[in-house]
Amino acid sequence: MKFTRTPALLAALVAGALAMTSLTQAQEIVVTHAQGETTLPGVPTKVLTSDWAAFDNLHALGVPVAGVPASNAPSYLQGFVAADALQIGSLFEPDFEGIAASGSDLYIVGARSREAYATAKDILPTIDLSIDNADIIAGIEGNLTKLGEVFGLQDKAAELNAALDAKVAEVKAAAEGKGKALILVTNAGNLGVYGPDSRVAWIHNQLGIPSAMENVKDGDHGGDSVSFEFLLEANPDWLFVVDRDAGTGESTGAAAALLDNELVNQTTAAKEGHIVYLDPQASYITMHGYSGVMLLLDQVLAGLNG
């Protein structure tokens, strides 16, 4: 009896131990991201992010976020931030002490907070979800897929990606043959043009709306500085406007007042009523978030059909 039970027990123990090790191995998740590879010991339960686009994507997937930037929450996301969410510093300067003390198991940086990666990766598992402005839609889909794998929500991610693809296709179809456009950014009375490497480049790159001006190189915050005369000469059929003052807090309507002048009113876009004001926060602050881009796509669509 004794002799027959022991090997069986031993075998069971060994089998159990093997099963457990293989189980932990299966739980380990390797994430390849913009600044390297990060290994997560398992599905993270407490997630922090310094990037509103990452928050947007996590929210779209249904993942709760435990810590968010202390400021600049886009209004269309404000209702979704948990009341007890930690505030972990500004977009540019995360509060590393707070992050270290929070006992979180994943920290996501992106665009403005990407510099924080170097410091944060030694404190807790960190990933950088920055994407290339020249290919924003594919970048967002890649990030959703990545997050889907991390949280075991692959199906949800595929569903969101399909919806995004469908929306892009719909707007692209609506834009066909509607003429050329300029993407303007207005800032305290100054005008800039956003080019094909900018944060709203998808209007040109993905929707296939050609630029009314060749060689807009600038992808920077304020765009390439231009005069009203420039608008008159470029004479775009469409103007997509990012009101940067509104995007960073000032009251809306400043861009509309600025563009209502004797020169702009002579352009085709103004005469036809083809000036589309984009949600300033989605276009200027989040840029790479799923629901933000969906919102912008809807606004472009409404403008094109309106």
Partner 1 sequence: MRLLILAIVVTITLAVTSLFVGVSDVSLGALLSSHPDDRPMQVLLISRIPRTLAIILSGSAMAVAGLVMQMIVRNRFVEPTTAGTTESASLGFLVITLLAPGWPLMGKMLVSAAFALAGTALFLRILRAVPLRDAMLVPLVGIMLGGIVGAATSFIAYRYELLPSLLAWTMGDFSGILRGNYELLWIGLACGVLAYIAADRFTVAGMGKDFTTNLGLNYQRVMVLGLVIVSLVSAVVLVSAGSIPFLGLIIPNLVSLMVGDNMRRTVPWVAVMGAGFVLACDILGRVVRAPYEIPISVVVGVIGSAIFLYLLLRTRRHAA
Applying CB under 8 A, the residues found at the interface with partner 1 are: 71-72, 187-191, 193, 213, 218, 221-222, 224-230, 232-234, 244-245, 248-251, 258, 261-263, 266
Cβ 99 to partner 1, closest distance in Å? 21
Q: How many CB atoms lie within 10 A of CB 12?
A: 10
Q: For partner 1, which is the closer residue by CB, 93 or 135? A: 93
CA 124 to chain centre: 22
Cβ 280 to partner 1, closest distance in Å? 11
In terms of DSSP bridges, do strands 29-33 and 36-40 run parallel, antiparallel, or are they unpaired?
antiparallel
Contact 180, 236 (CB under 8 A): yes
Q: For partner 1, which is the closer residue by CB, 136 or 191? A: 191
Q: For partner 1, which is the closer residue by CB, 158 or 232? A: 232
Cβ 267 to partner 1, closest distance in Å? 11
Q: For partner 1, which is the closer residue by CB, 134 or 232? A: 232
Write out the DSSP string of the chain: -HHHHHHHHHHHHHHHHHHHHHHHHHH-EEEEETTEEEEESS--SSEEES-HHHHHHHHHHT---SEE-SS---HHHHTTS-TTPEE-B-SSSB-HHHHHHTT-SEEEE-GGGGGGHHHHTTTS-EEE----GGGHHHHHHHHHHHHHHHTT-HHHHHHHHHHHHHHHHHHHHHHTTS--EEEEEEETTEEEEE-TTSTTTHHHHTT---BSSS-----STT-EEE-HHHHHHH--SEEEEEEHHHHTTSPTTHHHHHH-STTGGGSHHHHTT-EEE--HHIIIII-S-HHHHHHHHHHHHHHHH-
Cβ 169 to partner 1, closest distance in Å? 33
Q: For partner 1, which is the closer residue by CB, 45 or 92? A: 92
Cβ 282 to partner 1, closest distance in Å? 16
Within 13 Å of residue 130, how many CA atoms lie on the same side as its CB?
15
Q: For partner 1, which is the closer residue by CB, 73 or 108? A: 73
Cβ 263 to partner 1, closest distance in Å? 6
Q: How many CB atoms lie within 10 A of CB 266?
A: 13
Q: For partner 1, which is the closer residue by CB, 226 or 301? A: 226
Q: For partner 1, which is the closer residue by CB, 103 or 189? A: 189
Contact 164, 290 (CB under 8 A): yes
Cβ 254 to partner 1, closest distance in Å? 9
Cβ 229 to partner 1, closest distance in Å? 5
